[in-house]
Amino acid sequence: MKSVYKLFFLCLIFIGLIILLNLTNFSNKIYDASTKEAVVSTTVKKLQPPSITGEVTICVVVCGDRVDEALTMLKSALVFTCRSLQFIILAETSLIPAFNEKLAEWKLLSNKTFDFVVKPITFPEGSDAAMWKKLFKPCAAQRLFLPSVLNDIDAVLYVDTDTLFLAPPEKIWDEFKKMNSSQLAALSPEHEDPNTGWYNRFAKHPYYGKLGVNSGVMLMNLTRMREFRWIEYNYRPDHCMYMPVCTKAEKEGALVLHGSRGTFHSQKQPPFRAIYRAMQEYQLNTDPYDYLLVPMRNYLALEHKSNCGKVWEVFITQPELHLGQQ
């Protein structure tokens, strides 16, 4: 009987050892599996883009038949971005419903975070909107007025409708960080090679630098642009030939008059020629009030019918301030 109990007891011990060994192996398998999983997780984590924050604001102006083209551009931004986006679309009134409908649909479908606002095309009050729309291409001039049209927006990445993002738009947006305290915009040259440049070979109007710049993709610090307002230091025919576009100069006068494109020597914008004529005729060591300021007034009085003549105060306010007291 004792031998039976011994045999039974040995069997229990043997079964217990087998169970213990199996549990140990299972535990090791779990540990190994979790270790491998952790390794895989670490590897995948290293391949992820770095953690980034900061909303990117993309602005586009749309007229005519460019709705599909503009939406394709916005789609490309959504495809590549790793941040939240804000789209600002300035469009002709008839096009606004199409943007609202499609972008609202995208908000439901897309796993990307974005907001959008669609505004009508607007030009300065009292201006010839039809003329501005025809300047270069339909609505191309709208970008000139973004600082005032988007008066509550700090900065934008402006892009033409005929562009596509092939990388995250934040890569361009982060160029803002490289700007110093005085820089307010960034854009690329129109050409790289002077042999194929358009501006340097054909342009009849002033352009920037040696080859001009392309405004189809622009980083624009709108806050700095609104604060800068340097027009009064470089007042040109462009600021009044179609309509007055420099409010500060109209109130305080121009400090520097720039007769670009030969305006001092032609009848295209008579007030520029009037001021130049008075300065050219003035003789040093004579009374500037009688022989400079008075002729300026007289010559300007004869040239009040042109568009620039309608804002004649721009041309005489500063001379009155500095010469009228002498």
What type of residue sits at position 269?
Q
- Is the pLDDT at 261 greater than 90? The verdict is no
Check residue 299 and give its pLDDT.
94
Q: Which residue has the higher pLDDT, 221 or 197?
A: 221
- The yes-or-no verdict on residue 156 having pLDDT over 70 is yes
- 154-168 average pLDDT score: 93
> What's residue 275's pLDDT?
93
Q: Note the pLDDT of residue 290.
A: 94
Q: Is the pLDDT of residue 34 over 60?
A: no
pTM given for the model? 0.60
Q: What is the mean pLDDT of residues 268-273?
A: 91
More confident residue, 263 or 6: 263
For residue 18, is pLDDT > 50?
A: no
DSSP conformation class of 283:
P
Cβ neighbors of 254 (< 8 A, separation 6 or more) are 232, 235, 246, 314, 315, 317, 318
Q: Is 61 helix (H, G, I), strand (E, B) or coil?
A: strand
**Smallest Cα–Cα separation from 226: which of 300, 290, 152, 163?**
152
Taking the C-alpha atoms of residue 147 and residue 81, their distance in angstroms, rounded to an integer, is 25
Tell me whether residue 117 is exposed, middle or buried, using C-beta atoms within 10 angstroms of its C-beta: 0 to 12, 13 to 18, 19 or more.
Answer: middle
What residue has token string 């520029």?
272
What value does the mean pLDDT take over residues 188-193? 82
pLDDT above 70: residue 37: no
Burial label, 63 (beta-carbon count in 10 A; 0-12, 13-18, 19+): buried
| pLDDT at site 210 | 86
Residue of 108 and 23 predicted with greater confidence = 108
Per residue in 62-94, pLDDT (tens digit) is 999 999 999 999 999 999 999 999 999 999 999
Say which residues have a Cβ less than 8 Å from residue 159's Cβ, sequence separation at least 6. Answer: 58, 59, 60, 73, 216, 217, 218
Q: What is the mean pLDDT of residues 173-178?
A: 94
Are 58 and 88 within 8 A, CB to CB? yes
| Statement: residue 50 has pLDDT above 60 | no
pLDDT of 117 above 90: yes
What pLDDT score was predicted for residue 126? 59
- pLDDT for 41 equals 32
- Six token digits for residue 72: 């394709």
Q: From residue 324, how far is each of 24, 64, 234, 288 by CA, in Å?
A: 102, 53, 23, 9
Share of the chain above pLDDT 70, in %: 80
Residue 213 has pLDDT above 80, yes or no: yes
* pLDDT value, residue 326: 56
Question: Tell me, what's the pLDDT at 279?
Answer: 92
